[in-house]
Amino acid sequence: MGFVEDVSRAAKIILEADAATLISHIDADGISSEAIISQAVTRLGIPVNPVFVRQLEPMTMKHIPDDDTLKIFTDLGGGQQNLLEEAGITADSVLILDHHISQPAPGGTEYFQVNSQFYGEDYVKCSAAGIAYLVARKLDPANTDLAKLSVVGNVGDMMARENHGLVGVARWIAEDGADSGHIRIRRGINCYGLSTRPLHICLSNADDPQIPGISGKPAEAAALLCRIGIYQSPSDQRVWEELSSEEEKRLASVLAEQIIANGESSDGFIAEHYFFPDEMEKTPLRNASEYATMLNACGRWAKPKIGEAVCFGDRGQKYREAEHMLRHHRSIIRELCEYIIETGVEDLGSIQAIHTGDKYPDTIAGIGAGMALSKLDTNKPILVMCSVSDEPNLIKVSMRTYEKVLRRGVDLQEVLVTAAVESGGAGGGHNIAAGAYIPKGCEHDFTRRVNELVKGQFAAGQKDR
């Protein structure tokens, strides 16, 4: 069936329910999807009960109550229909809203699912929060206030990364939110912290592409901002969001010139950003990427319900707890990043690798790897391995690289999927950021194999030119 029909059918299933259990993932997309459906369903007067899980696997299935509520799975479920079937959950009590690869139930139970993978190109880059929003909007057109959360989920799941902005149906959702006044879409420098970080800090953190003379150099960034009249003094604290459109343009053109003058490509230097004008100024809630980090911080430190409360509009006690989670999240990531730099990575030729053992939680390995990379050899992907809490036989692998490396033919997802399967594990992700789980003990061979595959991609990329 087509997308529109499937969304209508999902809405109909919800309308017929007496009560619902929402089962969702603990990352930004999972929390925002849950919050969207939870609010839309509650507004209909149907009681809901949330269940957050790190992954849907045999161990976590016990958290799903054995009752007659409608089980709505968001951001998971499509690939775990075998588990639903094994648990004896019937098709008429399930609704799946997902965007991950779907695996039919082996026993033939046909669970109804709206999945971004099913409807072609325009839908593929739409996360679960996108699907959830369209279902919510079908339930009641007044639910357009939830478009914000949908954009947070999409940006959190890196749906805007490759094209430097949302595309297809996810972009339509952002426009829908803009039409109702809840979202402001702006193009500008591709940096993080546009609403909360003083501009010179924001610029000095730019890493993809790096800005020559500015990346890693906050004092130089402040001097430049003074020179072009955006800062009154080097101690100015203006954030990017406060710039006028003329100032934005002035800044972008000066920086682009600087990048090009150094022989780098300015591709990817400008991106589309999503701001939320009805949130408090200079807080992480003001734009989609910082909001997503806050939700990820809550989820990764096992407090998804605090993130959920923020999505519901709590700006009191729960919001302060979320701020605390965010600060904690950042400080541990900073520690991990420093640990990687101080310990040093092993240069295998085409990649650089490090094993952090059980020193840091596996949930932040990828983020730490990405941050450390800016201070290492940016021409080679980084690979970080670490132990997995409560899975003693597994090793988690995270890889990160930069766009300039992708342009040379590298695709990290392809590399990790291939190498992980060969070692008896599983991998996935994106060309620029990917991850895998592999059996403990095969790390040495695995990293050599990954290096070989990346080397092959570099060689093939060379030939294509």
- Residues lying near Mn ion in the complex (CB under 5 A): 29, 75, 127-128, 157
CA atoms within 13 A on the CB side of 224: 23
Q: Cβ closer to Mn ion: 25 or 200?
A: 25
Q: Which of 128, 285 has the CB closer to Mn ion?
A: 128
CB of 53 to Mn ion, least distance (A): 13
Structure tokens at 8: 């209508």
- Least Å distance, CB 201 to Mn ion, is 29
Q: How far is the CB of 295 from Mn ion (least distance, A)?
A: 12
Using the minimum distance from each CB to Mn ion, give the nearer residue, 99 or 329.
99
Where helices occur in 344-442 by DSSP H, the ranges are 365-373, 403-406, 412-422
Q: How far is the CB of 329 from Mn ion (least distance, A)?
A: 19
The residue to which tokens 């999902």 are assigned: 10
Closer Cβ to Mn ion, 34 or 157, answer by number: 157
- Residue 112, classified by CB atoms within 10 Å of its CB into exposed (0-12), middle (13-18) or buried (19+), is middle
User: Between residues 125 and 200, which has the closer beta carbon with respect to Mn ion?
Assistant: 125
Q: What are phi and psi of 123, to 5 degrees?
A: -110, -15
Shortest distance in whole angstroms from residue 176 CB to Mn ion:
20
Residue 25 beta carbon to Mn ion: minimum distance, rounded to whole angstroms: 6
Nearest Cα residue to 95 out of 131, 145, 45, 121: 131
Residue 430 CA to residue 412 CA, distance in Å, equals: 7
Q: Looking at beta carbons only, is 75 or 411 nearer to Mn ion?
A: 75
CB of 57 to Mn ion, least distance (A): 16
Which residue's CB is nearer to Mn ion, number 127 or number 398?
127
For the chain, the residue count is 465
CB atoms < 10 A from the CB of 357, how many?
A: 10
Closest CB to Mn ion: residue number: 29
Kindly state the tokens that stand for 94.
Answer: 């399930």
Q: How far is the CB of 86 from Mn ion (least distance, A)?
A: 23
Question: What is the secondary structure of 213-272 as a DSSP string?
Answer: TTTT-HHHHHHHHHHTTS-SSTT----GGGS-HHHHHHHHHHHHHHHHHTT---TTSEEE
Comparison of 370 and 429: residue with beta carbon closer to Mn ion:
429
Neighbours of 150 (CB within 10 A): 33
Is 63 strand, coil or helix?
helix
CB under 8 Å to 419, separation ≥6 — which residues?
427, 436, 446, 449, 450, 453
